[in-house]
Amino acid sequence: EPEVTQTPSHQVTQMGQEVILRCVPISNHLYFYWYRQILGQKVEFLVSFYNNEISEKSEIFDDQFSVERPDGSNFTLKIRSTKLEDSAMYFCASSNQASGSGDTQYFGPGTRLTVL
């Protein structure tokens, strides 16, 4: 069964450093998402991406964040200058159609980011 994969599973970085989290969505999916979950808190939406551009983003997704689909398979989240409060589990998800049509989002296993 096709699945969303994410690398690395765990990333440790120093405050102020740039990190890139990588995701490979399901191959025929067209909509891509990033979410994060700070320990003990809700899973929060960050950004959605369709047709090579951001379709929606939350207040969390400020200028420090960017997303890219550099080729036909990868979907990346870059944090330009990490802060302590960026420590969280980051989930990538993909769907064939927009979930606002009822389509299911398929989630990856997550990348745990620890900022020291």
Per rule CB under 8 A, is residue 104 in the interface with another protein? Answer: yes
Q: Which stretch binds another protein (CB under 8 A): 11-19, 49-57, 62-70, 71-79?
A: 49-57
For another protein (CB under 8 A), the number of binding residues is 30
Residue type at position 27: S
Contacts of 63 (CB under 8 A, 6+ apart): 80
- Determine if 66 is a binding residue for another protein (CB under 8 A): no
Could you tell me the CA-to-CA distances from 10 to 54, 87, 109, 113 in Å, in that order? 26, 11, 11, 6
The correct pick among 75, 82, 110, 115 for binding another protein (CB under 8 A) is: 110
Cα–Cα distance measured from residue 48 to residue 13, given in angstroms and rounded to the nearest whole number:
25
Residue numbers at the binding site for another protein (CB under 8 A): 4, 31, 33, 35, 41-45, 48, 50, 55-56, 58, 91, 93, 95, 98-110
